[in-house]
Amino acid sequence: MTAVRAGVQADPVVSTPYGAVRGRYEHGIAVFRGIPYAAPPFGARRFRPPVPPEPWDGVRDAGSFGSTPPKPPYSEAFAQLLADPVVPGDDCLNLNVWTPEPGPGARLPVLVWLHGGALTRGSSAVPVYDGQTFARDGVVFVSVNYRLGVEGYGLFPDAPANPGLRDQLAALEWVHRTIGAFGGDPGRITLAGQSAGAISIGALLAAPQARGLMRRAVLQSGPPEAFDRDKVRRMVRRMATRLKIPATAAAFAEVDRELLLRVQADVGRLSSPVLGGPTFGIVVDGDLVPRDPLEALVDGDASTDVDLMLGWTSDEYRLWLVPGGLLERVDRLGTVALAGAMARCRCGHEVPRGYRALHPEAGTAEIVGQLVTDHLLRLPLHRLADARPDRSYVYEFAWPSNLPDLGSCHGLELGFVFDTGDVPESRRLAGEGAPQELADAMHGAWVRFATDGDPGWQRWDDSHPVRIFDGGEPHIAHGPRDAEFALWAADLTPAESTPASVPAAGSPTRGTELRSVVRRLRLPGSVRRP
């Protein structure tokens, strides 16, 4: 609701299920920050599923961002490129709302944003994610904080799995129940996210508990997937060994948060999206995640009435390899790095050989990077689009950064999707002089998709139409990566056809080779998928 007194617009006040909140008007947009959707996840609630917040009397101030979940800082190399504000406090399960028309009756489309950060970093307070531009264009925008790292994705024998994903579900339920009071239409909710946020959306798309809570979904540079339970357990056990405690939720709950973050950062230092390693991630739990999300979605064993927009950047891997000089190190390692990538992708030698034939001018690092990107990200999204052609739109972001070597790297599209290229945090990745017309095109497509389900180009079909955003006029390319994808379809990885110098897929020596590559790279800090 709004009020105007003596020519001054009063602060907007909206009622939620737990109490009223007072926001602020900024550039004509009503903004509510730090609204709790669940109780603080500490004390007896640590490592447990979220529970509703305590109701409050009176009107709660929602003028500033709420607390961010515990997380370690990015390494120095990544911190130069990626912003990650920290807001101290316990009440970290909160969300923010930007709306052009607070109050019931407007029935505007809604976009709910899940941030990236490898499920270990990030928050809704990152300036690039300012929802003002979506609200300016008639979309109610909501951004969400959720538990990260061991607090949100540690796997313990005495606690339910995936509490961070359960936080996201609780936030989505809050939005579905409450957003009408902020001018939104609960029947037109689009769930959007990038990287880890997109991976989370894949799991929620397949979750029985989330059915009916969203009308559309956007997966940017993150596929539906379940992580290997043993890898997640290994992270927890390594942390427990460093801390000299049992690998249980009860024992971890007694550890100081800052100490836990330091140990988590140290144990995860050698994890890499290119070469793997122990990690935190969403796991099959028989409940919220009853089976692998991608397989459930491809098989039709999940909701099939959600429109999808899926995509990636042309050079995802450059954000993982350029900081700290890893690109040059991978090139120097040559065939050793290539063997490590094959182990990571569990493919035979014909696949990288085919990539070299298709891209004869590419160096080893580019071959490794594109190989792993296709295996981890593009192929799963391609499979999902193939399974739901009448519901899917696919894009590729191809504009190269104005900064050296980054190319069209992972995360670069965010400033264009949000039309926030003027904030300093966007320029960390894009450099100066990013084209406004590209932001107009991408942001407009996301607004159209959230509004009516059509971003403005051809739906997926047998011709594999991909919308290319590259700084010029957006255009359709048909099957631009089909030649690479065909190599994977033909790869049978028979052990007898693999040279002795390249371990067969699935063999124990592949894991040994992988660990050797990681050690020789001397990875500086975390290079996991942001």
Where in the sequence numbering do the catalytic residues fall? Answer: 195, 316, 410
Per DSSP, the three-state class of 453 is coil
Please give the helix or strand (H or E) that residue 216 lies within, else none: strand 216-220
Alpha helices in 401-435 (DSSP H): 414-417, 424-430
Number of alpha helices (DSSP H) and beta strands (DSSP E) in the chain: 20, 16
Angle, CA of 155, 193 and 42, to the nearest 5°: 40
Nearest to 32 by CA among 122, 173, 131: 131
Coil, helix or strand at residue 35: strand
Give the bridge partners for 437, in sequence order.
none
The two tokens of residue 229 are: 């339970």
SS3 labels along 172-192: HHHHHHHHHHHCEEEEEEEEE
Task: Indicate the residue type of 329.
Answer: R
Given a contact cutoff of 8 angstroms between Cβ atoms, the answer to whether 171 and 95 are in contact is yes
Task: Say how far apart CA 530 and CA 79 lie, in whole Å.
Answer: 11
Closest CA to 296 of 200, 199, 205: 205
Structure tokens at 24: 């602020």
What is the rounded CA–CA span in Å between residue 172 and residue 179?
10
Q: Which of 505, 487, 490 minimizes the C-alpha distance to 357?
A: 487
Q: Of 265, 336, 259, which Cα lies nearest the Cα of 527?
A: 265
Q: Calculate the alpha carbon distances from 435 to 381, 401, 442 in Å.
A: 27, 11, 11
Q: Which residues contact 286 (CB under 8 A, 6 or more apart)?
A: none
| Whole-number Å distance between alpha carbons of 403 and 431 | 5
**Tokens 């390899």 -> residue:** 321
Q: Are strands 29-36 and 24-26 parallel, antiparallel or unpaired?
A: antiparallel
